[in-house]
């Protein structure tokens, strides 16, 4: 049996390499801004930036090991700030040209209660990539009847993350 082995293209991990002012902004929950919208917007960014779902829990890859670590609310607060800016709207002492109140976005960290609510919300969890396994080496897999190597990164079909 002479099968050809080819490499499978997988999603590379995304690491922001731009100035904090260029990070996507997500407004913190407040009166008139519901938590589920906040959790969904955070989830849309974090699902591309190292957060996975393992056994129903949001996890991240430990920086120096091959282990996944559960995201605690305290850890999530600063982990999210590497990938997005949480802001609050602050009323300014002047009016806009049309006479309405002027507001400005100011950076502000999410509090522990907001982080906990986000990490456990359906709107956040449904967006995270499911993870079955982590590997240090490329894994041979069958795809479309061919034996292929899963290269570095996450593969949505196998739900495996191959660490670089």
> What would the two tokens of residue 138 be?
């490329």
> How long, in residues, is the chain?
164
Chain segment 21-35, per-residue pLDDT in tens = 689 999 999 999 999
pTM value is: 0.78
Helical ranges in the chain per DSSP H: 35-46, 73-81, 112-120, 122-125
With tokens 């949001």, the residue in question is 58
Listed range (10-24, 81-95, 122-136) with the worst mean pLDDT: 10-24
Q: What value does the mean pLDDT of the chain take? A: 87
Residue 63 predicted with pLDDT over 90: no
Q: What residues contact 133, with CB distance under 8 A and at least 6 apart? A: 159, 160, 161
Interatomic CA distance for residues 68 and 51, integer angstroms: 10
Query: How many CB atoms within 10 Å of residue 152?
Result: 16
Chain segment 95-153, per-residue pLDDT in tens = 889 988 888 889 999 999 999 999 999 999 999 999 999 988 888 988 888 999 988 99
pLDDT at position 128, please? 98
Query: How many CB atoms within 10 Å of residue 42?
Result: 27
pLDDT at position 62, please? 85
pLDDT at position 66, please? 78
Cβ–Cβ < 8 Å for 71, 58: yes
Domain ranges of the chain: 5-162
């Amino acid at each position: 049996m002479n099968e050809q082995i080819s490499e499978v293209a997988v999603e590379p991990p995304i690491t922001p390499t731009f100035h904090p002012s260029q990070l996507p902004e997500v407004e913190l929950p407040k009166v008139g801004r519901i938590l589920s919208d906040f959790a969904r917007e955070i989830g849309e960014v974090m699902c591309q930036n190292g957060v996975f779902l393992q056994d129903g829990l949001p996890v991240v890859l430990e920086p120096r090991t091959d282990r996944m670590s559960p995201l605690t609310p305290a850890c999530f607060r600063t982990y999210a700030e590497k990938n997005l800016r949480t802001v609050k709207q602050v009323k300014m002492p002047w009016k806009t040209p049309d006479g309405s109140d002027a507001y400005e976005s100011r950076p502000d960290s999410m509090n522990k209660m907001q982080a906990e609510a986000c990490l456990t919300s359906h709107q956040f969890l449904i967006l995270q990539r499911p993870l079955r396994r982590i590997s240090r080496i490329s894994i041979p897999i069958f795809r479309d009847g061919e034996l292929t190597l899963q290269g570095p990164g996450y593969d949505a079909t196998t739900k495996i993350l191959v660490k670089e």
